[in-house]
Chains A and B, each alone.
Chain A
Amino acid sequence: MDINGKDNTGPERANDMKVLILDAVSATDTSPSDASMGRIIENEFLKAGWGVHTIAVAEMDISPCRGCFQCWVRTPGICVIADAGRAVAEAWMQSDVVVLFTPLTFGGYSSSLKKAIDRVIPILSPFFMKIRGEVHHKPRYEKYPALVGIGVLPCRDAESAALFSRIIERHATNAHSPWHRAFILSGDRECRGVGDIIGPIAAREQEAA
């Protein structure tokens, strides 16, 4: 695995839309069908003509965020840890959509995905602003990618599903994403249908562009 993940541009590429898939599912053994789900998601975007960048976060050597804030006050915009975590932040900013694909873990991201997400804070400003009356960090850039969360569960769990939707909504606000969606897939049948939820998103956004 290359330190920056895997770029994939299919033969049918028809536009310059890009998706970053942070895949924390494929390297795990949560369900027999999970390993192929990452490929299905990739293929739906490729079919719609997108450039696809996939990072299998569970296989990457990404150190946890140190909470030092040096990415804000010493090397503004760049994490001081020189490992694959930097590539995640850079790829995030190069994308139109980021897909967070995770085994649902206590209603949120798995530790593998969270390790990557915690390293993305350099894309924000340290300074604060109010959004709908609540304090958040200001954007560092003018434009940010949309956020799509896909959580995989071995069986239905309404409490975890509701929390995941809330986390994606909060995360999208903090990351200045123009729009967000959250999906929960439980059981093999639903998991095999991941293309049915991703396909329309890829097609719609490609048309909008």
Chain B
Amino acid sequence: MNSQTDVLILVGSPKARSTSASLGDHLAGLLRKRGLSADTLHVTSNLRQEDGTRALLSAADGTDIIVLAFPLYVDSLPSPLVRALELLAKHRRGMEKPPRQRLLAISNCGFPEARHNETALAQCRIFCRDAGIEWIGGLGLGGGGMINGLPLAKRGRAVKSVLASLELAANALATDTPLPREAVSLMARPLVPVWLYLLVGHSGWRRQARKFGALKKIDDRPYQDKVKTA
């Protein structure tokens, strides 16, 4: 171990309370139970700070394992996390002999199907290649809205497969062994049937719009007068 902490969890959601943070926090707890130290850094708020870049690079230098926990934004990572990876790759490429590091990525999306995460996880794998970091693997979760930033323990049986996946991932990180395929398939398992997810989702959007007095405007087309019609 070369580090100040064994595992650094980089949370890529811009929200203070997020599903990404829920997943990262739960994994951190499992790692601590296995005797590893784990710190969390929220990338968006970190990069807003004056010395954010230095703090990010310093935290990354002081760890053996990096875990990226992020929401899927437009088939990819949120922009602040892309920025963080650009900085990290450049930093490591500038080192004469970068220390051994490993990386696990956990992507969650608001669509019910986990496969939407595949492009973002592939980007994380290419980041590892470019930065000289060992790629442990990627976990993709669909239906992230079911967790909605709550602690996983509070979601109970509804997230049973997520909890099981993170247990397997924690074992792999703690024992320096490959990520089991079962961890990937458990994380990708639908939390609820698609029809139910859509029903709950649509009702949720309407409820939130009603709260803001915007329900009647929810299908508005504010740029319609400028949209060209065929």
Contact = CB atoms under 8 A, between A and B. Distances in A.
B220 A77 contact: yes
Contacts of B201: 128
A106 B111 contact: no
Interface in A128-186: 128, 134-136, 140-143, 159-160, 163, 166-167, 170-171, 174
Given A108-B82, A109-B82, A67 B13 contact: yes
Given A67-B18, A94-B226, A118-B78, A106 B218 contact: no
A106 B120 CA distance: 10
Interface stretch (B25-33, B93-101, B154-162, B207-215): B207-215
Contacts of B89: 106
Nearest to B223: A93
A43 B229 CA distance: 25
Interface of A: 16, 18, 64-70, 72-78, 89-90, 93-94, 96, 105-111, 114-115, 117-118, 120-121, 123, 125-128, 134-136, 140-143, 159-160, 163, 166-167, 170-171, 174
Interface size class of B (residues with CB under 8 A): 35 or more
Contacts of B202: 127-128
A122 to B, nearest CB: 8
A107 B126 contact: yes
B196 interface: no
A117 B126 contact: no
Contacts of B217: 76
A141 B124 contact: no
Contact of A114 (B82, B130, B230): B82
Contacts of B86: 105, 110-111
B55 interface: no
B85 interface: yes
A71 to B, nearest CB: 10
Contacts of A76: 209, 214, 217-220, 222
Given A73-B214, A74-B214, A106-B127, A94 B227 contact: yes
B107 interface: no
A160 B129 CA distance: 11
A106 B226 contact: no
A174 to B, nearest CB: 7
A170 B119 contact: yes
Given A65-B73, A77-B223, A166 B79 contact: no
Contact of B79 (A96, A106, A111, A128): A111
Contacts of B126: 106-107, 159-160, 163
B198 A128 contact: yes
Given A76-B218, A96-B228, 13 more contacts: A65-B79, A67-B14, A67-B78, A106-B126, A106-B127, A107-B126, A108-B119, A111-B79, A135-B112, A142-B229, A163-B119, A163-B126, A174-B75
- 7 A-B pairs with the lowest CB-CB distances in the bound complex, closest first: A111-B83, A73-B208, A114-B79, A115-B79, A111-B82, A74-B212, A77-B222
A120 B198 CA distance: 22
B3 interface: no
